Amino acid sequence: MSAMSNPQVLATELPVESSRDWRTPIELTILGAIWGASFMFMRVSAPEFGPFALVEMRLGLGALVLLPFLWRERQHFPLNRWPILALIGAINSAVPFILFAWAAERAPAGIGAICNAMTVLFTALVASAFFGERIGTRRGIALVVGFVGVLVLASAKVAGASVGWAVAAGTLAALLYGFGANMVRKYLTGTPPAAVAASTLGCAALLVMPLAVTHWPESSPSTYAWFSAALLGVLCTGIAFVMFYQLIKRVGASRAVIVTYVVPLFGVFWAWLLLGEPVTWTMAVAGGLIVGSVAMSQKR
C-alpha cells in the first residue's frame, strides 16, 4: 500500500454504489498485484537511480496521471489550502517514498511490502494518541501483535546480511502514512480524493526536486531501471490510485481496504518469482503476524 500513499482515508467520503458482483475480488487481486509489484520495481531501480531521483520520477509521473482529476475539481483548491496540501504531501508521500526506496537498496522487496502493512495499525495508533479516537481492546492487541511481527522481521537475515535498518526505514514510512492519513481525515474530508492525491503528489514532487537534481545518478541507469521507474510512477502510483477510488465508489471503503492484506503477499511473490529473492521462515512468520494483526484490527 505504500507504495499507495495510504489512499483508504482519502476515499472514505466517496458515495458508495452498491455492488456484489464478480468484479470485486478480481479488482482487489489486480490492485494488490500492482501495489505489491511497486516494491519489486523499487528494488530494481533504486540501486541505479538512488532514492531521491527515483522518488522524484515516481511522484512526478503519478501526479501527471492524476492531473485531470485536479483540473476538474480545481474550484475545491483555493490558495489558502495549498500549505496543508504541501505538508501532507511531505508526510504522506515524499518522505515515506524515500524511506521505502532507501530500504529497497538494502533489503529484498518483500521486506518493504511486509512493513507497509503496518500502515493500518499506525493509522489507528496515531488517531488514538493525537486525535482523541478510542483505540479499543481488539486494536490494542492487534498493535502489539503487529509490533512483535516487526521485531521478528528486524531480526531476519537474508543471504547472511541483516535487514534491520531496512525494516526500521519501512516501519517509519508506515508510521508517517499513519500521520498523513489522520491529517487527510481532519483537514481534507469531503474534498475529491483523486484531486487531493494529485495535489499532494505534485507538492511532494516539488519538495523532492532539489534533492533529485543534486543526487541524480552520474551514469545512465539501465533500460530495466528506467522501465521499472516508469511503471512505479505511472502504474503503481497514478493508475492504481484511480482504480482504488473507483473500487471504493462501487463497493465502499470497508471492503476495498481488504487490499491491505493482499499487497504483502504479492510483494513477496513477485520478488521471489521475478527477482529470485528468497522467502525465509522469519519473513513468513513476521508477515503472518503483521497481516494477521491488520485483519484483527479491521474485524467488526
Q: State the Cα torsion 229-230-236-241 to the nearest 10°.
A: 130
Instruction: Please report, rounded to a whole number, the percentage of residues in the chain having pLDDT higher than 90.
Output: 66
pLDDT in tens, 10-22: 544 455 554 456 7
Alpha carbons within 13 angstroms on the beta-carbon side of residue 24 total 16
pLDDT in tens, 18-62: 445 678 889 989 999 999 999 999 999 999 999 999 999 999 999
Query: In 159-196, which positions are buried (b, 16+ CB within 10 angstroms) versus exposed (e)?
Result: eeeebbebbebbbbbbbbbbbbbbbbbeebeebbbbbb
Please spell the DSSP secondary structure of 176-208, one letter per residue: HHHHHHHHHHHH-TTS-HHHHHHHHHHHHHHHH
Q: DSSP code of 80? A: G
Average pLDDT, integer, range 109-117: 93
With H, G, I as helix, E, B as strand and everything else as coil, classify residue 157. strand
- Distances from the Cα of 194 to the Cαs of 84, 87, 96, 200, in angstroms? 16, 17, 19, 10
Given this model, what pLDDT does residue 206 score?
Answer: 98
Higher pLDDT, 251 or 180: 180
In this model, does residue 7 exceed pLDDT 60? no
Cα–Cα nearest to 51, from 196, 170, 198: 170
- Distances from the Cα of 247 to the Cαs of 104, 193, 242, 255, in angstroms? 29, 13, 9, 9
Higher pLDDT, 177 or 159: 177
Given this model, what pLDDT does residue 19 score?
Answer: 46
Given this model, what pLDDT does residue 10 score?
Answer: 53
Higher pLDDT, 209 or 278: 209
Average pLDDT, integer, range 93-118: 95
**pTM of the prediction?**
0.91
CA distance 42 to 113: 11
Cα–Cα nearest to 257, from 117, 110, 61: 117
Q: DSSP code of 14? A: S
Given this model, what pLDDT does residue 2 score?
Answer: 46
Q: Which of 110-119, 224-233, 242-251 has the highest mean pLDDT?
A: 224-233
> Where does the pLDDT of residue 252 fall: very low under 50, low under 70, confident under 90, or very high at 90 and above?
confident
Higher pLDDT, 257 or 275: 275
All three cell numbers of 220: 545512465
List % helix, strand, coil for the chain (3-state, nearest 5).
80, 0, 20
Given this model, what pLDDT does residue 233 score?
Answer: 97
Average pLDDT, integer, range 195-200: 94
Given this model, what pLDDT does residue 257 score?
Answer: 77
Cα–Cα nearest to 174, from 237, 88, 103, 96: 96
Please spell the DSSP secondary structure of 126-139, one letter per residue: HHHHHS-----HHH
Contact (Cβ atoms closer than 8 angstroms) between residue 22 and residue 258: no
Instruction: Please report, rounded to a whole number, the percentage of residues in the chain having pLDDT higher than 70.
Output: 91
Given this model, what pLDDT does residue 98 score?
Answer: 98
CA distance 120 to 103: 20
- Distances from the Cα of 26 to the Cαs of 101, 123, 252, in angstroms? 28, 27, 16
Average pLDDT, the chain: 89
